[in-house]
Chains A and B, each alone.
Chain A
Amino acid sequence: MMWIDTLVQGVLLGGLYALFAAGLSLVFGIMRLVNLAHGDLIVLGAYVILIIVSALGLNPFLAALVALPIMFTIGWVLQRVVLNRVLGEDILPPLLVTFGLSVVIQNALMQGYSADSQRLRPGPIESASLDLGVVTVGVMPLLTFASAVVVIVALNQLFYRTALGRAFRATSDDPVTAQLMGIKPASVFAMATGIAMIVVTIAAMYLGMRANFDPTIGPARLIYAFEAVIIGGLGSLWGTLVGGVIIGVAQTVGAAINLEWQILAGHVAFLVVLAFRPRGLFPRAND
Protein backbone atom coordinates (compact mmCIF):
# COMPACT_ATOMS: atom_id res chain seq x y z
CA MET A 1 0.00 0.00 0.00
CA MET A 2 2.65 2.43 1.07
CA TRP A 3 4.63 1.58 -2.08
CA ILE A 4 1.74 2.36 -4.36
CA ASP A 5 1.35 5.65 -2.59
CA THR A 6 5.06 6.42 -2.93
CA LEU A 7 4.94 5.56 -6.61
CA VAL A 8 1.90 7.71 -7.30
CA GLN A 9 3.39 10.68 -5.46
CA GLY A 10 6.57 10.22 -7.48
CA VAL A 11 4.74 10.14 -10.79
CA LEU A 12 2.85 13.29 -9.88
CA LEU A 13 6.05 15.03 -8.80
CA GLY A 14 7.45 14.02 -12.18
CA GLY A 15 4.78 16.22 -13.74
CA LEU A 16 6.37 19.25 -12.10
CA TYR A 17 9.81 18.26 -13.35
CA ALA A 18 8.41 17.71 -16.81
CA LEU A 19 7.00 21.25 -16.70
CA PHE A 20 10.44 22.56 -15.68
CA ALA A 21 11.94 20.65 -18.56
CA ALA A 22 9.47 21.10 -21.43
CA GLY A 23 10.57 24.64 -22.28
CA LEU A 24 14.22 23.64 -22.17
CA SER A 25 13.49 20.65 -24.40
CA LEU A 26 11.57 22.78 -26.89
CA VAL A 27 14.31 25.37 -27.24
CA PHE A 28 17.07 22.80 -27.44
CA GLY A 29 15.14 20.76 -29.99
CA ILE A 30 14.66 23.72 -32.30
CA MET A 31 17.87 25.70 -32.04
CA ARG A 32 20.36 23.50 -30.20
CA LEU A 33 20.56 26.17 -27.53
CA VAL A 34 21.29 25.02 -24.01
CA ASN A 35 19.78 27.75 -21.90
CA LEU A 36 21.63 27.80 -18.59
CA ALA A 37 19.29 30.54 -17.37
CA HIS A 38 16.23 28.32 -17.78
CA GLY A 39 15.85 27.67 -14.04
CA ASP A 40 16.24 31.36 -13.27
CA LEU A 41 13.64 32.23 -15.88
CA ILE A 42 11.24 29.91 -14.02
CA VAL A 43 12.02 31.75 -10.80
CA LEU A 44 11.60 35.07 -12.61
CA GLY A 45 8.21 33.81 -13.76
CA ALA A 46 7.25 33.04 -10.17
CA TYR A 47 8.15 36.60 -9.14
CA VAL A 48 6.19 38.07 -12.05
CA ILE A 49 3.15 36.07 -10.89
CA LEU A 50 3.81 37.18 -7.31
CA ILE A 51 3.91 40.84 -8.38
CA ILE A 52 0.61 40.47 -10.21
CA VAL A 53 -0.92 38.66 -7.23
CA SER A 54 -0.02 41.48 -4.87
CA ALA A 55 -0.72 44.34 -7.29
CA LEU A 56 -4.10 43.12 -8.53
CA GLY A 57 -5.09 40.89 -5.63
CA LEU A 58 -5.63 37.98 -7.98
CA ASN A 59 -5.52 34.27 -7.30
CA PRO A 60 -2.18 32.79 -8.58
CA PHE A 61 -4.02 30.90 -11.34
CA LEU A 62 -5.47 34.11 -12.74
CA ALA A 63 -2.25 36.00 -12.12
CA ALA A 64 -0.39 33.38 -14.18
CA LEU A 65 -2.82 33.98 -17.00
CA VAL A 66 -1.95 37.68 -16.88
CA ALA A 67 1.75 36.79 -16.73
CA LEU A 68 1.62 34.65 -19.88
CA PRO A 69 1.76 37.47 -22.47
CA ILE A 70 4.36 39.31 -20.38
CA MET A 71 6.61 36.28 -20.20
CA PHE A 72 6.08 35.50 -23.88
CA THR A 73 7.24 39.00 -24.71
CA ILE A 74 10.28 38.74 -22.44
CA GLY A 75 11.26 35.50 -24.18
CA TRP A 76 10.66 36.90 -27.65
CA VAL A 77 12.74 40.01 -26.98
CA LEU A 78 15.47 38.04 -25.22
CA GLN A 79 15.83 35.81 -28.26
CA ARG A 80 15.72 38.61 -30.82
CA VAL A 81 18.00 41.04 -29.02
CA VAL A 82 20.46 38.73 -27.28
CA LEU A 83 20.37 35.03 -28.06
CA ASN A 84 20.02 35.19 -31.86
CA ARG A 85 23.28 37.12 -31.95
CA VAL A 86 25.28 34.40 -30.26
CA LEU A 87 23.81 31.32 -31.95
CA GLY A 88 26.14 29.73 -34.46
CA GLU A 89 28.49 26.88 -35.17
CA ASP A 90 30.29 27.45 -31.89
CA ILE A 91 28.22 26.33 -28.88
CA LEU A 92 30.34 28.18 -26.33
CA PRO A 93 29.04 31.77 -26.79
CA PRO A 94 25.39 30.88 -26.06
CA LEU A 95 26.49 28.92 -22.99
CA LEU A 96 28.43 31.89 -21.68
CA VAL A 97 25.67 34.36 -22.43
CA THR A 98 22.93 32.28 -20.78
CA PHE A 99 25.21 31.66 -17.80
CA GLY A 100 25.65 35.41 -17.52
CA LEU A 101 21.92 35.89 -17.84
CA SER A 102 21.40 33.45 -15.00
CA VAL A 103 23.64 35.56 -12.75
CA VAL A 104 21.95 38.77 -13.85
CA ILE A 105 18.44 37.46 -13.12
CA GLN A 106 19.45 36.15 -9.69
CA ASN A 107 21.08 39.42 -8.71
CA ALA A 108 18.29 41.57 -10.05
CA LEU A 109 15.71 39.55 -8.09
CA MET A 110 17.93 39.72 -5.03
CA GLN A 111 18.10 43.50 -5.32
CA GLY A 112 14.40 43.86 -5.86
CA TYR A 113 13.03 41.25 -3.50
CA SER A 114 15.89 40.28 -1.15
CA ALA A 115 16.71 36.70 -0.27
CA ASP A 116 13.48 36.25 1.69
CA SER A 117 11.52 33.26 0.59
CA GLN A 118 8.15 33.82 -1.01
CA ARG A 119 5.11 31.70 -1.72
CA LEU A 120 2.12 31.79 -4.03
CA ARG A 121 -1.05 31.00 -2.10
CA PRO A 122 -3.88 29.55 -4.15
CA GLY A 123 -6.29 29.21 -1.20
CA PRO A 124 -8.08 26.10 0.13
CA ILE A 125 -7.25 24.04 -2.95
CA GLU A 126 -3.69 23.94 -1.60
CA SER A 127 -4.56 21.33 0.99
CA ALA A 128 -7.44 19.64 -0.82
CA SER A 129 -7.05 15.97 -1.62
CA LEU A 130 -8.85 13.28 -3.50
CA ASP A 131 -9.48 9.79 -2.11
CA LEU A 132 -8.94 7.38 -4.97
CA GLY A 133 -9.53 4.26 -2.87
CA VAL A 134 -6.04 2.77 -3.04
CA VAL A 135 -4.30 6.10 -2.52
CA THR A 136 -5.13 9.62 -1.50
CA VAL A 137 -3.61 12.27 -3.73
CA GLY A 138 -3.38 16.01 -3.33
CA VAL A 139 -5.40 18.05 -5.79
CA MET A 140 -2.44 20.35 -6.48
CA PRO A 141 0.01 17.56 -7.47
CA LEU A 142 -2.75 16.05 -9.62
CA LEU A 143 -3.37 19.38 -11.29
CA THR A 144 0.37 19.82 -11.85
CA PHE A 145 0.67 16.47 -13.54
CA ALA A 146 -2.44 17.04 -15.65
CA SER A 147 -1.03 20.40 -16.71
CA ALA A 148 2.23 18.76 -17.74
CA VAL A 149 0.34 16.29 -19.92
CA VAL A 150 -1.76 19.08 -21.44
CA VAL A 151 1.34 21.17 -22.11
CA ILE A 152 3.09 18.29 -23.83
CA VAL A 153 0.03 17.36 -25.90
CA ALA A 154 -0.32 21.02 -26.89
CA LEU A 155 3.35 21.37 -27.83
CA ASN A 156 3.14 18.18 -29.88
CA GLN A 157 0.08 19.50 -31.70
CA LEU A 158 1.91 22.74 -32.36
CA PHE A 159 4.94 20.84 -33.62
CA TYR A 160 3.17 18.35 -35.86
CA ARG A 161 -0.07 20.07 -36.86
CA THR A 162 0.71 23.72 -37.54
CA ALA A 163 2.65 25.71 -40.10
CA LEU A 164 4.76 27.21 -37.31
CA GLY A 165 5.58 23.70 -36.10
CA ARG A 166 6.69 22.72 -39.60
CA ALA A 167 8.89 25.81 -39.69
CA PHE A 168 10.34 24.79 -36.30
CA ARG A 169 11.21 21.34 -37.56
CA ALA A 170 12.52 22.53 -40.92
CA THR A 171 14.75 25.15 -39.30
CA SER A 172 16.02 22.60 -36.81
CA ASP A 173 16.78 20.13 -39.64
CA ASP A 174 18.62 22.56 -41.90
CA PRO A 175 18.67 26.31 -41.24
CA VAL A 176 20.33 27.22 -44.56
CA THR A 177 17.77 25.40 -46.67
CA ALA A 178 14.99 26.77 -44.45
CA GLN A 179 16.13 30.27 -45.39
CA LEU A 180 16.11 29.30 -49.06
CA MET A 181 12.46 28.38 -48.51
CA GLY A 182 11.71 31.82 -47.12
CA ILE A 183 11.87 31.02 -43.41
CA LYS A 184 13.66 33.53 -41.20
CA PRO A 185 15.36 31.58 -38.41
CA ALA A 186 15.61 34.72 -36.25
CA SER A 187 11.82 35.09 -36.09
CA VAL A 188 11.19 31.36 -35.82
CA PHE A 189 13.59 31.19 -32.85
CA ALA A 190 11.96 34.21 -31.21
CA MET A 191 8.56 32.51 -31.44
CA ALA A 192 10.07 29.32 -29.99
CA THR A 193 11.55 31.10 -26.99
CA GLY A 194 8.32 33.04 -26.49
CA ILE A 195 6.39 29.78 -26.42
CA ALA A 196 8.97 28.19 -24.12
CA MET A 197 8.36 31.09 -21.73
CA ILE A 198 4.66 30.30 -21.70
CA VAL A 199 5.56 26.83 -20.47
CA VAL A 200 8.03 28.41 -18.04
CA THR A 201 5.20 30.52 -16.60
CA ILE A 202 3.02 27.48 -16.01
CA ALA A 203 5.98 25.72 -14.36
CA ALA A 204 6.64 28.85 -12.28
CA MET A 205 3.06 28.94 -11.05
CA TYR A 206 3.17 25.36 -9.76
CA LEU A 207 6.67 25.83 -8.39
CA GLY A 208 5.55 28.86 -6.40
CA MET A 209 2.42 27.18 -5.08
CA ARG A 210 4.15 23.93 -4.11
CA ALA A 211 6.93 25.34 -1.97
CA ASN A 212 8.78 28.47 -0.94
CA PHE A 213 11.04 30.10 -3.48
CA ASP A 214 13.76 32.71 -3.41
CA PRO A 215 16.02 34.23 -6.08
CA THR A 216 18.70 31.53 -5.76
CA ILE A 217 16.76 28.32 -6.41
CA GLY A 218 16.89 28.52 -10.22
CA PRO A 219 20.04 26.48 -10.89
CA ALA A 220 18.74 23.48 -8.92
CA ARG A 221 15.52 23.51 -11.03
CA LEU A 222 17.72 23.67 -14.11
CA ILE A 223 19.48 20.47 -13.04
CA TYR A 224 16.19 18.57 -12.70
CA ALA A 225 15.05 19.93 -16.03
CA PHE A 226 18.30 18.89 -17.68
CA GLU A 227 18.13 15.42 -16.27
CA ALA A 228 14.54 14.98 -17.44
CA VAL A 229 15.40 16.19 -20.95
CA ILE A 230 18.46 13.98 -21.24
CA ILE A 231 16.74 10.87 -19.83
CA GLY A 232 13.91 11.37 -22.30
CA GLY A 233 16.18 11.90 -25.29
CA LEU A 234 17.06 15.34 -26.59
CA GLY A 235 14.19 16.98 -28.39
CA SER A 236 11.52 14.38 -27.57
CA LEU A 237 8.67 16.01 -25.64
CA TRP A 238 7.01 12.78 -24.49
CA GLY A 239 10.46 11.58 -23.53
CA THR A 240 10.79 14.66 -21.37
CA LEU A 241 7.60 13.72 -19.49
CA VAL A 242 8.93 10.19 -18.97
CA GLY A 243 12.24 11.66 -17.82
CA GLY A 244 10.46 13.88 -15.30
CA VAL A 245 8.48 10.92 -14.00
CA ILE A 246 11.60 8.77 -13.60
CA ILE A 247 13.30 11.47 -11.54
CA GLY A 248 10.14 12.08 -9.52
CA VAL A 249 9.66 8.39 -8.73
CA ALA A 250 13.34 7.93 -7.90
CA GLN A 251 13.12 10.85 -5.49
CA THR A 252 10.02 9.66 -3.65
CA VAL A 253 11.29 6.08 -3.50
CA GLY A 254 14.65 7.34 -2.25
CA ALA A 255 12.93 9.46 0.36
CA ALA A 256 10.75 6.54 1.47
CA ILE A 257 13.85 4.51 2.22
CA ASN A 258 15.76 7.32 3.85
CA LEU A 259 14.64 10.95 3.84
CA GLU A 260 18.17 12.17 3.14
CA TRP A 261 18.35 10.13 -0.06
CA GLN A 262 15.59 11.98 -1.87
CA ILE A 263 17.67 14.31 -4.05
CA LEU A 264 20.53 11.87 -4.44
CA ALA A 265 18.18 9.11 -5.69
CA GLY A 266 16.99 11.36 -8.52
CA HIS A 267 20.54 12.00 -9.69
CA VAL A 268 21.43 8.32 -9.40
CA ALA A 269 18.45 7.38 -11.57
CA PHE A 270 19.71 9.88 -14.13
CA LEU A 271 23.18 8.33 -14.14
CA VAL A 272 21.79 4.79 -14.39
CA VAL A 273 19.66 5.66 -17.41
CA LEU A 274 22.59 7.45 -19.00
CA ALA A 275 24.86 4.45 -18.46
CA PHE A 276 22.52 2.13 -20.36
CA ARG A 277 21.02 4.58 -22.86
CA PRO A 278 23.54 7.38 -23.45
CA ARG A 279 21.24 9.04 -26.00
CA GLY A 280 18.24 8.87 -23.68
CA LEU A 281 15.17 6.69 -23.87
CA PHE A 282 13.59 8.22 -26.98
CA PRO A 283 16.40 9.71 -29.08
CA ARG A 284 15.59 11.41 -32.37
CA ALA A 285 16.61 9.46 -35.42
CA ASN A 286 18.52 12.26 -37.12
CA ASP A 287 20.64 13.79 -34.37
Chain B
Amino acid sequence: MTLLHTRGLTAHYGDFQALFGVDLDLQEGECIAIIGANGAGKTTTLRSISGVLRNRPEAVVFDGEKIGHLPAADIMGRGLVMVPEGRRLFPSLSVEENLSIGTYGRKVSGYWNFDTVTALFPILRERRKSPATALSGGQQQMVAIGRALMSNPRVLLCDEISLGLAPVVIRDIYAAMPQIRESGASVVIVEQDISQALKVADRVYCLMEGRVTLTGRPTELNRDAIHAAYFGVSA
Protein backbone atom coordinates (compact mmCIF):
# COMPACT_ATOMS: atom_id res chain seq x y z
CA MET B 1 0.00 0.00 0.00
CA THR B 2 1.26 3.47 -0.79
CA LEU B 3 1.67 5.27 2.52
CA LEU B 4 2.96 8.57 1.19
CA HIS B 5 3.15 10.10 -2.24
CA THR B 6 3.91 13.47 -3.75
CA ARG B 7 2.53 14.61 -7.09
CA GLY B 8 3.87 17.60 -8.94
CA LEU B 9 5.60 18.95 -5.86
CA THR B 10 6.94 22.45 -6.49
CA ALA B 11 8.82 24.84 -4.25
CA HIS B 12 9.96 28.43 -4.50
CA TYR B 13 12.34 30.58 -2.51
CA GLY B 14 11.24 34.05 -3.55
CA ASP B 15 11.61 34.15 -7.35
CA PHE B 16 13.83 31.11 -7.40
CA GLN B 17 12.09 27.84 -8.20
CA ALA B 18 13.79 24.95 -6.40
CA LEU B 19 11.46 22.05 -7.31
CA PHE B 20 9.73 21.43 -10.64
CA GLY B 21 7.13 18.76 -10.04
CA VAL B 22 8.65 16.01 -7.94
CA ASP B 23 6.74 12.70 -7.77
CA LEU B 24 7.70 10.28 -5.01
CA ASP B 25 6.07 7.12 -3.68
CA LEU B 26 6.72 5.45 -0.38
CA GLN B 27 5.15 2.10 0.38
CA GLU B 28 4.27 1.06 3.92
CA GLY B 29 7.41 -0.40 5.49
CA GLU B 30 9.66 0.74 2.69
CA CYS B 31 12.89 2.72 2.82
CA ILE B 32 13.58 5.05 -0.09
CA ALA B 33 16.65 7.17 -0.63
CA ILE B 34 16.81 10.53 -2.34
CA ILE B 35 20.27 11.19 -3.72
CA GLY B 36 21.62 14.11 -5.67
CA ALA B 37 24.35 16.70 -5.75
CA ASN B 38 24.54 19.68 -3.45
CA GLY B 39 21.68 22.07 -4.27
CA ALA B 40 19.66 19.47 -6.18
CA GLY B 41 16.59 20.09 -3.99
CA LYS B 42 16.72 17.18 -1.56
CA THR B 43 16.26 19.24 1.57
CA THR B 44 13.61 21.32 -0.16
CA THR B 45 11.71 18.14 -0.97
CA LEU B 46 11.73 17.05 2.67
CA ARG B 47 10.77 20.55 3.79
CA SER B 48 7.81 20.47 1.42
CA ILE B 49 6.66 17.11 2.72
CA SER B 50 7.05 18.12 6.34
CA GLY B 51 5.11 21.37 5.97
CA VAL B 52 7.91 23.88 6.46
CA LEU B 53 7.12 24.87 2.86
CA ARG B 54 3.44 24.79 1.91
CA ASN B 55 1.95 23.28 -1.21
CA ARG B 56 -1.37 22.54 -2.84
CA PRO B 57 -3.24 20.06 -0.60
CA GLU B 58 -3.08 17.26 -3.19
CA ALA B 59 0.67 17.66 -3.77
CA VAL B 60 1.37 15.55 -0.67
CA VAL B 61 -0.90 12.63 0.21
CA PHE B 62 -0.31 10.65 3.37
CA ASP B 63 -2.39 7.63 4.27
CA GLY B 64 -5.07 8.72 1.81
CA GLU B 65 -5.30 12.27 3.19
CA LYS B 66 -4.25 15.41 1.33
CA ILE B 67 -1.77 17.19 3.59
CA GLY B 68 0.26 19.45 1.28
CA HIS B 69 -1.25 22.61 2.76
CA LEU B 70 -0.94 21.72 6.44
CA PRO B 71 1.47 23.46 8.85
CA ALA B 72 4.50 21.53 10.07
CA ALA B 73 3.17 20.83 13.56
CA ASP B 74 0.02 19.18 12.15
CA ILE B 75 2.00 17.03 9.77
CA MET B 76 4.27 15.93 12.59
CA GLY B 77 1.15 15.08 14.58
CA ARG B 78 0.08 12.73 11.80
CA GLY B 79 3.31 10.77 12.17
CA LEU B 80 5.63 12.24 9.51
CA VAL B 81 8.68 13.25 11.50
CA MET B 82 11.87 14.89 10.33
CA VAL B 83 15.49 14.50 11.36
CA PRO B 84 16.57 17.84 9.95
CA GLU B 85 19.74 18.61 8.07
CA GLY B 86 22.42 19.82 10.47
CA ARG B 87 20.56 18.09 13.35
CA ARG B 88 19.09 21.29 14.75
CA LEU B 89 19.11 20.21 18.39
CA PHE B 90 17.76 22.69 20.92
CA PRO B 91 20.87 24.14 22.61
CA SER B 92 19.15 25.14 25.83
CA LEU B 93 17.74 21.65 26.34
CA SER B 94 19.61 18.68 27.76
CA VAL B 95 19.90 15.44 25.82
CA GLU B 96 16.98 13.97 27.75
CA GLU B 97 14.87 17.08 27.22
CA ASN B 98 15.62 17.11 23.51
CA LEU B 99 14.41 13.52 23.32
CA SER B 100 11.28 14.26 25.30
CA ILE B 101 10.31 17.21 23.12
CA GLY B 102 9.23 14.64 20.52
CA THR B 103 6.31 13.74 22.79
CA TYR B 104 5.23 17.28 23.71
CA GLY B 105 1.51 17.76 24.06
CA ARG B 106 0.48 14.40 22.63
CA LYS B 107 -0.14 10.93 23.91
CA VAL B 108 2.19 8.63 22.07
CA SER B 109 2.17 4.90 22.13
CA GLY B 110 4.36 2.44 20.34
CA TYR B 111 7.73 0.82 20.53
CA TRP B 112 9.83 3.92 21.09
CA ASN B 113 10.31 5.61 24.47
CA PHE B 114 13.27 6.87 26.47
CA ASP B 115 14.30 3.33 27.37
CA THR B 116 14.16 1.87 23.89
CA VAL B 117 15.81 4.89 22.29
CA THR B 118 18.67 4.79 24.80
CA ALA B 119 18.96 1.05 24.32
CA LEU B 120 19.45 1.79 20.62
CA PHE B 121 22.00 4.53 21.38
CA PRO B 122 23.39 3.67 24.87
CA ILE B 123 25.69 6.71 25.01
CA LEU B 124 22.62 8.95 25.20
CA ARG B 125 21.61 7.45 28.53
CA GLU B 126 25.06 8.16 29.94
CA ARG B 127 25.00 11.73 28.70
CA ARG B 128 21.35 12.45 29.28
CA LYS B 129 21.91 15.43 31.59
CA SER B 130 24.43 17.14 29.28
CA PRO B 131 23.41 20.05 27.12
CA ALA B 132 22.70 18.49 23.73
CA THR B 133 25.18 20.70 21.95
CA ALA B 134 28.03 19.58 24.25
CA LEU B 135 28.00 16.17 22.54
CA SER B 136 30.16 15.06 19.63
CA GLY B 137 28.72 15.30 16.12
CA GLY B 138 27.85 11.63 15.95
CA GLN B 139 26.20 11.67 19.36
CA GLN B 140 24.23 14.75 18.40
CA GLN B 141 23.00 12.93 15.32
CA MET B 142 21.86 10.09 17.58
CA VAL B 143 19.92 12.63 19.67
CA ALA B 144 18.31 14.04 16.53
CA ILE B 145 17.23 10.58 15.39
CA GLY B 146 16.12 9.63 18.90
CA ARG B 147 14.12 12.83 19.26
CA ALA B 148 12.19 11.94 16.11
CA LEU B 149 11.74 8.31 17.15
CA MET B 150 10.27 9.31 20.54
CA SER B 151 7.06 10.33 18.79
CA ASN B 152 6.79 6.87 17.21
CA PRO B 153 6.72 8.14 13.63
CA ARG B 154 5.04 6.30 10.81
CA VAL B 155 7.44 7.94 8.39
CA LEU B 156 10.92 9.04 9.40
CA LEU B 157 12.43 11.68 7.11
CA CYS B 158 16.23 11.74 7.51
CA ASP B 159 18.18 14.58 5.93
CA GLU B 160 21.88 13.77 5.46
CA ILE B 161 22.39 11.99 8.75
CA SER B 162 25.94 11.08 7.71
CA LEU B 163 27.04 14.60 6.86
CA GLY B 164 30.34 15.59 8.45
CA LEU B 165 30.74 12.36 10.41
CA ALA B 166 33.63 9.90 10.42
CA PRO B 167 33.06 6.58 8.61
CA VAL B 168 32.95 4.53 11.83
CA VAL B 169 30.36 6.89 13.26
CA ILE B 170 28.29 6.72 10.08
CA ARG B 171 28.41 2.94 10.34
CA ASP B 172 27.15 3.09 13.94
CA ILE B 173 24.29 5.35 12.98
CA TYR B 174 23.21 3.32 9.99
CA ALA B 175 23.44 0.19 12.14
CA ALA B 176 20.30 1.49 13.87
CA MET B 177 18.31 1.49 10.63
CA PRO B 178 17.15 -2.15 10.68
CA GLN B 179 15.71 -1.77 14.17
CA ILE B 180 14.00 1.48 13.21
CA ARG B 181 12.35 -0.24 10.27
CA GLU B 182 11.41 -3.25 12.38
CA SER B 183 9.57 -0.91 14.75
CA GLY B 184 7.19 -0.21 11.88
CA ALA B 185 8.50 3.09 10.58
CA SER B 186 8.82 3.68 6.86
CA VAL B 187 11.89 5.73 6.03
CA VAL B 188 12.93 8.41 3.57
CA ILE B 189 16.64 9.10 3.65
CA VAL B 190 18.42 11.90 1.87
CA GLU B 191 22.05 11.14 1.20
CA GLN B 192 24.94 12.51 -0.81
CA ASP B 193 26.84 9.33 -0.03
CA ILE B 194 25.59 7.17 -2.90
CA SER B 195 27.03 3.86 -1.74
CA GLN B 196 25.46 4.32 1.68
CA ALA B 197 22.11 5.07 0.05
CA LEU B 198 22.31 2.04 -2.24
CA LYS B 199 23.07 -0.15 0.77
CA VAL B 200 20.07 0.73 2.92
CA ALA B 201 17.34 1.75 0.48
CA ASP B 202 14.76 -0.43 -1.24
CA ARG B 203 14.46 2.15 -3.98
CA VAL B 204 16.40 5.22 -4.96
CA TYR B 205 15.36 8.53 -6.47
CA CYS B 206 18.00 10.71 -8.01
CA LEU B 207 17.31 14.42 -8.01
CA MET B 208 18.96 17.04 -10.21
CA GLU B 209 18.07 20.73 -10.30
CA GLY B 210 14.66 20.15 -8.78
CA ARG B 211 13.63 17.23 -10.97
CA VAL B 212 13.69 13.46 -10.54
CA THR B 213 16.16 12.19 -13.13
CA LEU B 214 16.30 8.53 -12.21
CA THR B 215 14.47 6.01 -10.04
CA GLY B 216 14.88 2.32 -9.45
CA ARG B 217 16.02 -0.43 -7.16
CA PRO B 218 19.70 -0.37 -6.20
CA THR B 219 20.30 -3.63 -8.06
CA GLU B 220 18.80 -2.23 -11.27
CA LEU B 221 20.90 0.91 -11.34
CA ASN B 222 24.39 0.91 -12.80
CA ARG B 223 27.12 3.40 -12.00
CA ASP B 224 26.95 5.18 -15.34
CA ALA B 225 23.20 5.80 -15.12
CA ILE B 226 23.55 7.20 -11.60
CA HIS B 227 26.48 9.32 -12.62
CA ALA B 228 24.48 10.77 -15.51
CA ALA B 229 21.43 11.41 -13.34
CA TYR B 230 23.56 12.96 -10.64
CA PHE B 231 25.66 15.32 -12.69
CA GLY B 232 23.67 15.59 -15.91
CA VAL B 233 26.53 14.24 -18.05
CA SER B 234 27.53 10.70 -18.87
CA ALA B 235 30.70 9.35 -17.39
Contact = CB atoms under 8 A, between A and B. Distances in A.
Interface string A68-108: 00000000000000000000000000000000000000000
B105 A169 contact: no
B144 to A, nearest CB: 10
Given A163-B100, A166-B100, A166-B101, A173 B76 contact: no
A111 interface: no
Interface stretch (A112-120, A175-183, A212-220): A175-183
A41 B15 CA distance: 42
B97 A166 contact: yes
B151 A182 contact: yes
Interface string A249-287: 000000000000000000000000000000000001110
A173 B82 contact: no
A183 B77 CA distance: 9
Nearest to A286: B91
Nearest to B77: A182
Nearest to A284: B92
B73 A179 contact: yes
B104 A182 contact: yes
B43 to A, nearest CB: 12
Given A166-B97, A177-B84, A183 B73 contact: yes
Contact of B93 (A170, A176, A184, A284): A170
Contacts of B100: 163, 166
Contact of B52 (A166, A176, A181, A286): A176
A169 B81 CA distance: 20
Nearest to B96: A166
Nearest to A182: B76
B147 A179 contact: no
B164 interface: no
A174 B73 contact: no
B102 interface: yes
A172 interface: yes
B72 interface: yes
A186 to B, nearest CB: 9
Given A180-B50, A182-B76, A170 B101 contact: yes
A181 B76 contact: yes
A169 B73 contact: no
A213 B90 CA distance: 43
A197 to B, nearest CB: 21
B90 A174 contact: yes
A245 interface: no
A285 B93 CA distance: 13
Given A166-B93, A170-B93, A183 B88 contact: no
A167 B101 CA distance: 7
A177 B77 CA distance: 14
Contact of A181 (B71, B92, B104): B104
Interface in B100-143: 100-102, 104-106
A170 B98 CA distance: 8
Contact of B90 (A163, A169, A182): A169
Contacts of A183: 73, 101, 104-105
Contacts of B92: 169-170, 172-173, 284, 286
Given A180-B50, A181-B104, A183-B104, A173 B73 contact: no
A174 B88 contact: yes
A15 to B, nearest CB: 27
Nearest to A180: B82
Interface in B28-81: 50-52, 71-73, 76-77, 81
Interface of B: 50-52, 71-73, 76-77, 81-82, 84, 88, 90-93, 97, 100-102, 104-106, 147, 151
Which 6 pairs across A and B sit closest by C-beta, in order of nearness?
A179-B72, A182-B76, A177-B88, A173-B90, A170-B90, A184-B73
15 contacts: A166-B101, A166-B104, A169-B97, A173-B90, A174-B90, A179-B72, A180-B50, A180-B81, A180-B88, A181-B147, A182-B102, A183-B104, A183-B105, A184-B73, A286-B92
Given A170-B90, A179-B71, A182-B102, 8 more contacts: A163-B105, A166-B104, A178-B90, A181-B151, A182-B105, A183-B101, A286-B91, A286-B92
